[in-house]
Amino acid sequence: MRALSSFCKASGLAMNNAKSEIFFNGVPEDIREGIKQVTGFREGTMPFRYLGVPIKAGRLTKKECSTLTENMVARIRGMGAKKLSYAGRVTLINAILNTLQNYWAQMFIIPKSIINHIMAIYRNFIWDGSPDYHRVPVVAWDKVTLPKKEGGLGIKKADVWNIATVDWHNYSPPADATWVWKNICKVKENLKDGFHDSKWTMSPKGYSIKGGYDWLAPDQTTLNWTAIVWNNWNIPKHSLTTWLRMHEGMNVKSKLFRFGCCADDWCVLRQRQPETVDHLFTSCVYSWKIKVAMFNAYHYFIWFQRNNARINDWLQRPEVVAVRIKDDIKRRVKQKCRAVVDQSDLLWLQNVVLV
């Protein structure tokens, strides 16, 4: 108590005894009562929450970790996320939801059931704008969680990220450590081959969470189309639409017809041919008239016009669509040119102008 008093005088931070708790382990009852009388603290019970996370000596249960997924669901429902595009939802996951998970992941090995629930929330949110399951995913989750250069969306696998966040190399827990602590310490075994002479071989700067994640994640082949799809000059919703096309994730009429969701499989862009992905983006006459536009903008606007034709039964003239594409790209270039542009982006833009 003298130490706490000295800290208060030095820092100006006063402790509220009435809101403070003290925890005992193996202390006789009479000594407990004496300590509580001297300190004015009330005795707390395990588990308790500190800075929003559960603190306990034993195994964390699904119920005790449910706050994490509840906070994720609350963020989704409270931000009008249903109205976001696919690209907006991916951005929200990486910028906000993954931050919530990362906060917990640096302190605990999150129970597998919660990890699975987090992945389900991410998956449902991307494809339907809701944390609940309403729609069948159009692209396999194993592909979604790949890095962008390998054909994915760059969303981190929650279980692998959890392991990467709590690693350290030269530490062993004492024999009397709690289950939680021992479980966390097991993580380093997953990464021990990444160290050489106690140095992290993935980077000369030492261990990083991203380096650990890349070490644990399976290495895939870099695909030749990813640099075009995910270039910084592209509008995100255009890139996401192209990405769906590359993974055959679009619900064209040929696919819907097989499941009995529509009366026929004719192309809705006024072409008497079956509407497949290849037809819609390659051989459809209407599509050919718009192909002078940029690669990613082309995929986005064709898909937009196709949905308008199917749902609202109207089409814009190809000339009008081309103008809209040019306007969108022009605005994007102006927006990027206000910011700091690196040499690779300038080279990419020069190549586009030459084409």
pLDDT computed for residue 103 by the predictor:
87
Q: What is the pLDDT of residues 101-113, one digit of tens each?
A: 888 888 888 888 9
Q: Is the peptide bond before 47 cis (omega within 30 degrees of 0)?
A: yes
The answer to whether residues 127 and 137 touch, using CB atoms and an 8 Å cutoff, is yes
Contact by Cβ (8 Å): 113, 59: no
Strands 199-200 and 266-267: unpaired
pLDDT band, residue 69 (cuts 50/70/90): very high
- Highest-pLDDT range among 170-174, 205-209, 302-306, 339-343: 302-306
The model's confidence at residue 347, banded by pLDDT at 50, 70 and 90, is low
Burial class of residue 316, CB neighbours in 10 A (0-12, 13-18, 19+): middle
E strands, the chain, are 21-22, 42-43, 48-50, 53-55, 195-196, 199-200, 266-267, 271-274
Q: Residue ranges per domain, the chain?
A: 2-45, 52-223, 236-354
> How many angstroms separate the CA atoms of 332 and 337, rounded?
9
- Residue 355: is its pLDDT beyond 50? no
286 vs 280, residue with greater confidence: 280
The dihedral through the CA atoms of 319, 321, 324, 328 has a sign that is negative
In tens, the pLDDT along 101-146 reads 888 888 888 888 999 999 999 999 999 888 988 888 889 999 999 9
* Residue 330 pLDDT: 73
Cα 94 from Cα 213, distance rounded (Å) = 15
What residues does 266 pair with on adjacent strands? 274
- Determine the pLDDT at residue 336: 64
Identify any residues that bridge with 49 across adjacent strands, giving them in sequence order: 54
Stretch 44-71: mean pLDDT: 82
Query: DSSP assignment of 91-148, as one string?
Result: HHIIIIIHHHHHHHHTT----HHHHHHHHHHHHHHHHHSSSS--S--SS-HHHHTS-G
- How large is the average pLDDT for residues 54-73? 84
| pLDDT, averaged across the chain | 82
Please say if the pLDDT value at position 236 is more than 70.
Answer: yes
SS3 state at 68: helix
Distance CA 261, CA 252 (A): 11
Is residue 58 a contact partner of residue 180, using CB atoms and an 8 Å limit? Answer: yes
3 state SS of 327:
helix
The tokens of 200 are what? 């992290």
70-97 pLDDT, tens digit each? 999 998 887 777 788 888 899 889 888 9
Tally of CA atoms within 13 A in the half-sphere of 306 that contains its CB: 23
